[in-house]
Structure 1
Amino acid sequence: MKRLGRQRWFGYLGPLTGVATVTACYKLLIIEVNATTVALSFFLVVLLTAASQGIGPAILASIAGMLCLNFFFLPPVGTFTIYDPQNWVALCAFLVTAIIASQLSSAARRRAREAEKSREEVWKLYQLSRAIIITPDPETAVSTISRQVREVFEITNCEVFTPDESGRLEELPATSASPPPVSEKLLREVFERGELRIDTAHNSTYAPLKVGVRVTGVLFLTSGLMEAGTIEAISGLVALALERARFLKQLSRTEALSQSDQLKSALLASVSHDLRNPLTSIRAAVDNLLEKNLNWDREALHEFHLIIREEVNRLTRLVQNLLEMARIESGELHPIKEWGSLSEIFGNVLDRCTAELSNHRVRVECEENLPMVKVDSRLLASVIANLLENAAKYSPGQSEIILRGAIDSHRLKVTVQDQGPGIPTNELTRVFDKFYRGAIRSVKRRYGTGMGLAIARGIIEAHGGRIWVESTPANGATFSFTVPVETRMVSKPLTPVGDEA
């Protein structure tokens, strides 16, 4: 307050000092000076005062300049008496012109301040709208918006109230650290009428949050320095932000339901094909074994047992794929790494996929004397099995599938190459998506859920590795993955996997 008073006194002292300085300069430095020149100099002081201090100090400068012009420069000098009527006219014209000019200059100064204030408010509103747009999480949108309003507009409190299921206005969480008392009556009045209300007793404002003509809540602010138009603009942005957060939350829920429906459709397709076919084979084999009127020889019995085992293994792999996908989706897939050899992993995979690879030639290329690697052998075997089954599914019968393995610079690399029709360029980025199955129809293939490659990608990424596919149309596809591994040399060389399987 004292500082404001000193500034005000300085604003009135400055013009008097300026007039006195002009008077002293002309009286002491110039012997004979034209009164018109002095009047123009005083007029310049008036304009500068109006532009810098406002209308009050400028009028004071006009009166002081008129008195000094009369006393020091108009005859008879040294008195306030004026004999020449023309000097009266000149003196009055100077005073009126100075006052009008000071008013115009002060108005221009005021408009400039208002324009600067409007520019600052527009910039703050832009900052707020930008912060609202880049807020990614609907769950934290309210707290983020409240913080941005407080920081950008330098206000104490910003709270958002929305109706609950019973219609009672409730404050959304995390909108204010220490809110002042809020009037329930004003909240209800603003929400029902949709009109701005100002509580001068508590220096607070209640603004309706409108989306179109619909009131969705009330914005509570504590600030006495903001205009109604600015508050309405803030409430409009906050209303849009809340509506956007609700929309994003609903969209996320809709996408989750869509993915759930997609999973349901994939599971139904699996039941109708990948589950029904093995169950049909198992049932037929069991019915034949239980037939009392037929005497099967040892070879036939062995064949029935093989059918049952293969189909049970196929069902087991399908269930394992479903479980692995569920673990990947829930983020619960954590590799359990143990020391093992690549040749042993390859051998286990080939034994596991005997039925799927029975109509193909598999050539294994694995270097001798490879070091032991610390990996989750079960998960990596699942990845390799999915890649081999995919290669067998999309390549013609009796064609060759090449399985390669190598270790270089503490990275394990495995490659599966087939001689199928290849993958179109526009599908290369989609083959690892869930439930996606290639559009190529030139090769007769079994039905599937489209989860194998998605599971492979999830397992490899859980190991901190990378999986990709390279394809040349009509010349087959090559799937490769690399994972970082710890290695350890063994004293006795491991027996490499054979060339054919």
Structure 2
Amino acid sequence: MRRDQNFNFSTFQRYFIAVAGIVITIAILEFFHSRINSTTVAFIFLTIVLFVATFLGRNPALLVSLVAMLGFNYFFLPPVRTWTISDPQNLVAWAMFTITSIIVGQLSASVKRRAEEAEKQKDEIKNLYDELQTAFEKASETEALRRSEKLKTALLDAVTHDLRTPLTSIKASITTLLEDEKNGAENFRLDNDNRREFLAVINEETDRLNDFIEGMVELARIEAGELNLRQTWSEIPEIIQSALNRAEPFLKDSHIKIMLEKDLPLICADSNLLAEVLY
């Protein structure tokens, strides 16, 4: 957070503090006048001007420079307590002090003002960055929600399809068997082989439906972080064979050829879940 270097003083308070500070400094230095030289006094006055310019502003520093100039002449340059400067060297020193104090005060105030402007620009850039970041986050949230809804729709369609397929087969087989039973022996249409075939379809599709439901339960456990892996040392061919056994009802008319490297190492994993991943 940017610090206010003017301490929130009013204009009158800043001028009063500046003048009071230089007057008190003159009084203290005048008390020790016999122990310090004019060069030390000039350096202290310049320090006061620099301090005022930094913390109270340019105009109070200009006023302090003028007061310091008068005090330097009246109290510290011979003949003291007069406005006359008898020594030309002291006149040059007084003039240089006056010019230096004014320049130092103005430069210090200018540096302070530029620092405040730079800090203000920094705050504006930070605020702009925060606004842009907030806008991007909102846009990202909106896009994430849109994609989430799209994914939910696709997932619902897939689940509906996977549920409808075995249910349709089961329904058709049961309906056929019931119709055949309803017709009676005199209108017998299905022989034992056909009936066994329909019963096999019902059994297979029921197993398929049960596997699908178990898969959904496992998926819910994974999302909830409650899936417990039963890791054991297993052979890769056994895992592949387990997956083929699961898919056997749908591979009756297909020829599957498995090609594996010899002497494959054992893997430590949940073989059942890996088989489910394969099918």
TM-score normalised per structure 2: 0.61
User: CA 1:121 to 1:285, structure 2 compared with 1: closer, same or farther past 3 Å?
Assistant: same
Greater share of helix: 2
Cα distance in 2, alignment partners of residues 86 and 70 from structure 1: 13
Cα distance in 2, alignment partners of residues 439 and 16 from structure 1: 95
User: CA 1:262 to 1:111, structure 2 compared with 1: closer, same or farther past 3 Å?
Assistant: same
Match of 2:186 in 1: 292
> Conserved in 1, the CA contact under 8 Å of 2:49 and 2:105?
yes
Cα distance in 1, alignment partners of residues 16 and 56 from structure 2: 11
> Conserved in 1, the CA contact under 8 Å of 2:50 and 2:104?
yes
> Conserved in 2, the CA contact under 8 Å of 1:54 and 1:106?
yes
Asked if 1:258 is matched to 2:154, the reply is yes
Q: How far apart are 1:309 and its partner, in Å?
A: 7.9
- Secondary structure of 1:446's counterpart equals helix
Match of 1:243 in 2: 139
Cα distance in 2, alignment partners of residues 19 and 85 from structure 1: 26
> Conserved in 2, the CA contact under 8 Å of 1:275 and 1:315?
no
Cα distance in 1, alignment partners of residues 74 and 19 from structure 2: 15
| Structure 2 residues without counterparts, runs of 5 or longer | 1-6, 220-236, 251-268
User: CA 1:281 to 1:21, structure 2 compared with 1: closer, same or farther past 3 Å?
Assistant: closer
Amino acid at match of 1:240: F
Cα distance in 2, alignment partners of residues 444 and 68 from structure 1: 105
Q: How far apart are 1:284 and its partner, in Å?
A: 6.2
Which of 55, 64, 71 is the aligned partner of 1:52? 55
> Conserved in 2, the CA contact under 8 Å of 1:51 and 1:105?
yes
Segments ≥4 residues shifted beyond 6 Å: 293-296, 303-326
Amino acid at match of 2:159: L
Alignment of 1:458-469 (within 5 A): none
Moved more, 307-316 or 98-107: 307-316
> Conserved in 1, the CA contact under 8 Å of 2:177 and 2:195?
no
Which of 425, 446, 451 is the aligned partner of 2:249? 446
Q: How far apart are 1:11 and its partner, in Å?
A: 2.0
User: CA 1:78 to 1:277, structure 2 compared with 1: closer, same or farther past 3 Å?
Assistant: closer
Match of 1:17 in 2: 20
> Conserved in 2, the CA contact under 8 Å of 1:282 and 1:308?
no
Q: How far apart are 1:60 and its partner, in Å?
A: 1.3
> Conserved in 2, the CA contact under 8 Å of 1:278 and 1:315?
no
- Secondary structure of 2:80's counterpart equals coil
Alignment of 1:173-322 (within 5 A): 230=128, 236-267=132-163, 270-271=165-166, 275-276=168-169, 279-280=172-173, 283=176, 287=180, 290=184, 292=186
| Structure 1 residues without counterparts, runs of 5 or longer | 126-229, 330-420, 425-437, 448-468, 478-501
Which of 440, 449, 471 is the aligned partner of 2:271? 471
The percentage of counterpart residues that share the same residue type is: 27
Cα distance in 2, alignment partners of residues 295 and 122 from structure 1: 85
Which of 84, 103, 106 is the aligned partner of 1:103? 106
What is the root-mean-square deviation of aligned Cα atoms in Å?
A: 4.9
Cα distance in 2, alignment partners of residues 293 and 444 from structure 1: 37
TM-score normalised per structure 1: 0.37
Residues 463-484 of structure 1 deviation map (CA, whole Å, 9 limit, x = unaligned): xxxxxx94389xx99xxxxxxx
> Conserved in 2, the CA contact under 8 Å of 1:282 and 1:311?
no
Greater share of strand: 1
> Conserved in 2, the CA contact under 8 Å of 1:16 and 1:64?
yes
Q: How far apart are 1:37 and its partner, in Å?
A: 2.1
- Secondary structure of 2:243's counterpart equals coil
Match of 2:32 in 1: 29
Q: How far apart are 1:317 and its partner, in Å?
A: 8.5
> Conserved in 2, the CA contact under 8 Å of 1:55 and 1:103?
yes
Greater RCO between the two (CA within 8 Å, min separation 6)? 2
- Secondary structure of 1:104's counterpart equals helix
Cα distance in 1, alignment partners of residues 172 and 137 from structure 2: 54
- Secondary structure of 1:76's counterpart equals coil
Q: How far apart are 1:9 and its partner, in Å?
A: 3.0
Asked if 1:84 is matched to 2:82, the reply is no
Cα distance in 2, alignment partners of residues 75 and 235 from structure 1: 64
Amino acid at match of 1:94: F
Cα distance in 1, alignment partners of residues 80 and 138 from structure 2: 75
Alignment of 1:381-460 (within 5 A): 423=239, 440-441=243-244, 445-446=248-249
Alignment of 1:139-154 (within 5 A): none
Cα distance in 2, alignment partners of residues 74 and 472 from structure 1: 102
Q: How far apart are 1:101 and its partner, in Å?
A: 0.8
Q: How far apart are 1:94 and its partner, in Å?
A: 1.3
> Conserved in 1, the CA contact under 8 Å of 2:170 and 2:202?
no
Structure number with greater Rg is 2
> Conserved in 2, the CA contact under 8 Å of 1:15 and 1:61?
yes
